[in-house]
Amino acid sequence: MANPVPNSGRAAPMRNKRTGAAWLVSFDYKEGIYWHEPQGNLRNIRRSYASPQIDPKLVPAGTH
Question: How many domains are contained in the chain?
Answer: 1
pLDDT along the chain (64 residues), means of 10: 74 91 92 91 84 92 73
In a domain, 7, yes or no: no
pLDDT score, position 29: 87
3-state secondary structure 28-61: ECCCCEEEEEECHHHHHCCCCEEECCCCCCEEEC
pLDDT score, position 2: 59
**Model-level pTM?**
0.82
In a domain, 4, yes or no: no
In a domain, 24, yes or no: yes
pLDDT score, position 4: 77
In a domain, 51, yes or no: yes
* Spatial CA neighbour of 58 closest among 31, 45, 39: 39
In a domain, 5, yes or no: no
